[in-house]
Amino acid sequence: MEVPILKQGAVLIATFQAALSDADLNQLRMGLVQQVVRFRSRAVIVDVTAMDVMDSFASRTLREIAHMIRLRGAETVIVGIQPEVAFAMVQLGLTLEGVATALDLEEGLAYLNEKFKTTN
């Protein structure tokens, strides 16, 4: 299952689907970093609203995406972690330390606009 990546100005928006396999996540990680390079993006928003489960692999992949993108000099914001998914992540002992998160896409964009003082 492909994850659509949308280009909105200097921001790339990746929208996760419910049933992503490890292979899909790995592919997305590479795809996102390549597109950040290609479009000289300043930020990436990963929208996980539709994700039903965030297990250890998914969390680790998200952290890796954020770190790789930071090495490119761009920002990552994870948006839309559902309350029950957040609860399960905490029980499982998973964290997204050092990765920016926001309530939803709108808040994520607002956070980035504030951070970069740019307009879309």
Partner 1 sequence: MSAGEIRVAINSDQDIVSARQRGRQMATEIGFSTGDATLIATAISELARNIVSYAVKGQITLKMVNGLNRQGISVIATDDGPGIPDIRQAMRDGFSTSGSLGLGLPGVRRLMDEFEITSQPGRGTIVAVKKWRQ
Residues that bind partner 1 (CB under 8 A): 19-23, 52-57, 59-60, 63, 82-85, 87-89, 91-95
With respect to partner 1, which residue has the nearer C-beta, 6 or 90? 90
Q: How far apart are CA 112 and CA 43, in angstroms?
A: 8
Residue type, 28: L
DSSP letter string, 14-63: EE--S---HHHHHHHHHHHHHHHHHHT-SEEEEE-TT-S---HHHHHHHH
Conformational region of residue 9, where left means phi above 0, alpha means psi within -120 to 50, and beta covers everything else: left
Q: Provide, rounded to whole angstroms, the least separation between the CB of residue 69 and partner 1.
A: 18
Q: Provide, rounded to whole angstroms, the least separation between the CB of residue 115 and partner 1.
A: 25
With respect to partner 1, which residue has the nearer C-beta, 4 or 83? 83
With respect to partner 1, which residue has the nearer C-beta, 99 or 112? 99
Q: Provide, rounded to whole angstroms, the least separation between the CB of residue 15 and partner 1.
A: 17
